[in-house]
Protein backbone atom coordinates (compact mmCIF):
# COMPACT_ATOMS: atom_id res chain seq x y z
CA UNK A 1 0.00 0.00 0.00
CA UNK A 2 1.19 3.49 -0.75
CA UNK A 3 1.76 5.55 2.34
CA UNK A 4 1.53 9.29 2.74
CA UNK A 5 3.35 10.87 -0.19
CA UNK A 6 5.06 14.23 0.11
CA UNK A 7 6.82 16.40 -2.41
CA UNK A 8 9.33 17.81 -2.79
CA UNK A 9 11.55 15.75 -0.51
CA UNK A 10 14.18 18.45 -0.41
CA UNK A 11 13.99 22.12 -1.32
CA UNK A 12 16.47 24.93 -1.05
CA UNK A 13 15.09 28.38 -1.74
CA UNK A 14 16.06 32.00 -1.26
CA UNK A 15 14.51 34.20 1.36
CA UNK A 16 11.41 35.92 0.06
CA UNK A 17 10.47 33.19 -2.37
CA UNK A 18 7.20 31.29 -2.23
CA UNK A 19 7.40 27.65 -1.14
CA UNK A 20 4.67 25.10 -1.78
CA UNK A 21 4.77 21.69 -0.13
CA UNK A 22 2.43 18.97 -1.33
CA UNK A 23 0.86 15.95 0.28
CA UNK A 24 -1.19 12.99 -0.85
CA UNK A 25 -2.74 11.21 2.13
CA UNK A 26 -3.44 7.51 2.37
CA UNK A 27 -6.53 6.65 0.36
CA UNK A 28 -9.63 6.45 2.55
CA UNK A 29 -8.21 8.49 5.40
CA UNK A 30 -10.39 11.35 6.56
CA UNK A 31 -7.93 13.41 8.62
CA UNK A 32 -4.78 15.15 7.44
CA UNK A 33 -2.12 16.87 9.51
CA UNK A 34 0.83 19.16 8.82
CA UNK A 35 3.70 19.07 11.33
CA UNK A 36 6.96 20.94 11.50
CA UNK A 37 10.11 19.53 13.10
CA UNK A 38 13.07 21.59 14.22
CA UNK A 39 15.92 20.95 16.60
CA UNK A 40 14.82 23.77 18.87
CA UNK A 41 11.08 23.07 19.08
CA UNK A 42 10.74 19.41 18.19
CA UNK A 43 7.53 18.35 16.45
CA UNK A 44 4.79 20.96 16.24
CA UNK A 45 1.31 20.54 14.82
CA UNK A 46 0.66 23.34 12.36
CA UNK A 47 -2.83 22.51 11.16
CA UNK A 48 -5.14 19.60 10.67
CA UNK A 49 -8.12 18.88 8.45
CA UNK A 50 -11.05 16.56 8.94
CA UNK A 51 -13.01 15.62 5.83
CA UNK A 52 -11.12 18.35 3.94
CA UNK A 53 -12.19 21.08 6.38
CA UNK A 54 -9.57 22.87 8.50
CA UNK A 55 -10.36 22.11 12.14
CA UNK A 56 -7.50 23.66 14.05
CA UNK A 57 -4.92 26.02 12.59
CA UNK A 58 -3.73 27.45 15.89
CA UNK A 59 -0.28 26.07 15.27
CA UNK A 60 0.28 27.99 12.05
CA UNK A 61 3.07 30.37 13.00
CA UNK A 62 1.91 33.47 11.14
CA UNK A 63 0.06 34.78 8.13
CA UNK A 64 2.89 33.81 5.83
CA UNK A 65 1.75 30.21 6.23
CA UNK A 66 -1.38 28.86 4.60
CA UNK A 67 -2.74 25.38 4.00
CA UNK A 68 -5.44 24.05 1.73
CA UNK A 69 -7.12 20.74 1.11
CA UNK A 70 -9.18 21.05 -2.07
CA UNK A 71 -10.11 17.36 -2.06
CA UNK A 72 -9.63 14.18 -0.07
CA UNK A 73 -6.48 13.19 -1.89
CA UNK A 74 -4.42 16.37 -1.92
CA UNK A 75 -3.21 19.11 0.40
CA UNK A 76 -0.72 21.95 0.16
CA UNK A 77 1.21 23.97 2.69
CA UNK A 78 2.40 27.31 1.36
CA UNK A 79 4.89 29.76 2.80
CA UNK A 80 4.94 33.21 1.25
CA UNK A 81 7.33 34.93 1.65
CA UNK A 82 9.75 32.39 3.08
CA UNK A 83 12.33 33.31 5.73
CA UNK A 84 15.46 31.51 6.97
CA UNK A 85 13.73 30.65 10.25
CA UNK A 86 11.24 28.56 8.28
CA UNK A 87 14.00 26.05 7.58
CA UNK A 88 12.75 22.76 8.99
CA UNK A 89 11.36 19.38 8.09
CA UNK A 90 7.67 19.52 7.28
CA UNK A 91 5.71 16.31 7.74
CA UNK A 92 2.31 15.50 6.39
CA UNK A 93 0.34 12.76 8.13
CA UNK A 94 -3.07 11.19 7.69
CA UNK A 95 -5.41 9.00 9.68
CA UNK A 96 -8.80 7.37 9.58
CA UNK A 97 -10.77 8.62 12.51
CA UNK A 98 -13.29 6.11 13.84
CA UNK A 99 -15.25 5.64 17.04
CA UNK A 100 -12.45 3.44 18.37
CA UNK A 101 -9.81 6.06 17.82
CA UNK A 102 -7.24 6.69 15.13
CA UNK A 103 -3.67 5.97 14.18
CA UNK A 104 -1.69 8.62 12.38
CA UNK A 105 0.71 7.71 9.59
CA UNK A 106 3.47 10.06 8.53
CA UNK A 107 5.06 10.82 5.21
CA UNK A 108 8.81 10.92 4.71
CA UNK A 109 8.90 14.69 5.12
CA UNK A 110 9.92 17.70 3.07
CA UNK A 111 13.32 19.09 4.04
CA UNK A 112 13.17 22.86 3.55
CA UNK A 113 16.18 25.15 3.64
CA UNK A 114 15.68 28.89 3.21
CA UNK A 115 18.90 30.80 2.58
Partner 1 sequence: AQSVTQLDSHVSVSEGTPVLLRCNYSSSYSPSLFWYVQHPNKGLQLLLKYTSAATLVKGINGFEAEFKKSETSFHLTKPSAHMSDAAEYFCVVSGTASKLTFGTGTRLQVTL
User: Judged by CB under 8 A, does residue 50 bind partner 1?
Assistant: yes
**Smaller CB distance to partner 1: residue 59 or 81?**
59
How many residues bind partner 1 (CB under 8 A)? The answer is 25
Instruction: Answer positive or negative: Cα dihedral of 39, 58, 91, 94.
Output: positive
Maximal CA-CA distance, the chain: 45
Residue 17-46 contact track with partner 1, rule CB under 8 A, x = bound = --------------x-x--------xx-x-
Give Cβ neighbours of residue 85 (< 8 Å, ≥ 6 apart): 114
CA 106/CA 115 separation, integer angstroms? 27
Q: State the residues that interact with partner 1 by CB under 8 A.
A: 4, 31, 33, 42-43, 45, 48, 50, 55-56, 91, 93, 95, 97, 100-109, 111
Amino acid sequence: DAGVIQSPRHEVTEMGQEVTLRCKPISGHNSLFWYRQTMMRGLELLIYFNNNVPIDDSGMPEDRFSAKMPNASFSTLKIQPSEPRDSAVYFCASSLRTSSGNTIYFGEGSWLTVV
